[in-house]
Amino acid sequence: MRDTEQPHVDPSVIAPAHRELLAQVLDRWSLQVLDELCDRTLRFNELRRAVPGVTQKSLTTTLRRLERNGMVQRVVTSTRPVAVEYRITPLGSTLQDLIDALLRWTTGAMPAVDDARARFDSEE
Amino acid sequence: MRDTEQPHVDPSVIAPAHRELLAQVLDRWSLQVLDELCDRTLRFNELRRAVPGVTQKSLTTTLRRLERNGMVQRVVTSTRPVAVEYRITPLGSTLQDLIDALLRWTTGAMPAVDDARARFDSEE
DNA sequence: CGGTATCCTTCTCGATACTG
DNA sequence: CAGTATCGAGAAGGATACCG
């Protein structure tokens, strides 16, 4: 409330809206869900089975947020009873590329991270 | 510790250790701290002033975790009284590149995200 | 200056039960 | 099948006070 409407943004501060978006889109279940949806369309319970450990509530929350942010599309078919399909959007695909980069980074960095952790934990 | 040395990783499940690392290193304050340290060395209270809103406790926690993961180095000079400097490591720099990519993505995606949100919020 | 320790509030998230 | 509603435990995180 102290910096609303500033003419030029302080480059040293990451925009709260950007942080919020990253948080909404890179959280625990979103990563897994997007990973599942990257190359196929899945229904709610298929997705639930594909993502081990996710509860119905968390999956619903995650999908609603991803849908609201334009990362996935929710398609309801008026069959019997009803089928709900989730698919990734073009915007979601650009995010998927980034997630891939993140996971590649963790893979490459993990040995060095493990070393750093071992050193940190052994000292003091 | 249960999936070390597995011959083939299940591609549908993101390794918990990788998710944990991303969570530890991409959280709210870590993003800001790494952003501050990317091109200069700062002392604790300088860093505290540079990152608006962070408490002493949160900053300490964040720095310890980044240090443990090998992203920043803590340098204690035995002057009077004592000075503690934090600087980014080479490993931390590789992460910084990724964070830059994330922030560039948010900048590019934000208009589409705002549209998607407006559409989602107007319907039902 | 650069932290720890403690309290306390908030928020997340899982478990469970119920619905169109 | 695809959710919503409600509850409670636990973790995250701020405020405050104190220490070497």
**Rounded to whole angstroms, how far apart are CA atoms A29 and A52?**
10
Q: E strands of chain A, at which residues?
A: 42-43, 72-77, 83-88
Average pLDDT score over residue span B24-45 = 95
Q: Is the pLDDT of residue B45 over 80?
A: yes
Give which of A107, A61, A31, A16 is closest to B23, Cα–Cα: A31
Cβ-defined contact of A70 to B117 (cutoff 8 Å): yes
List pLDDT tens digits, range B61-114: 999 999 999 999 999 998 878 899 999 999 999 999 999 999 999 999 999 999
Query: Would you state the pLDDT for residue B107?
Result: 96
Spatial neighbors of A94 by CB under 8 A, at least 6 apart, are B105, B108, B109
Q: Is the pLDDT of residue A10 over 70?
A: no
pTM of the predicted structure, to 2 decimals: 0.88
Higher pLDDT, A101 or A12: A101
Nearest chain B alpha carbon to A54:
B13
List pLDDT tens digits, range A92-122: 999 999 999 999 999 999 999 999 999 999 9
Query: Would you state the pLDDT for residue A124?
Result: 67
Query: Would you state the pLDDT for residue B123?
Result: 83
Whether the bond between A11 and the residue before it is cis, its omega within 30 degrees of 0, is: no
Residues B14, B34, B84, B63: what is their CA dihedral angle, to the nearest 10 degrees?
-30
Nearest chain A alpha carbon to B36:
A12
List pLDDT tens digits, range A55-98: 999 999 999 999 999 999 999 998 878 899 999 999 999 999 99
Spatial neighbors of B77 by CB under 8 A, at least 6 apart, are B83, B84, B85
The pLDDT-based confidence of A13 (bands split at 50, 70, 90) is: confident
Cα of A118 to nearest chain B Cα, Å:
8
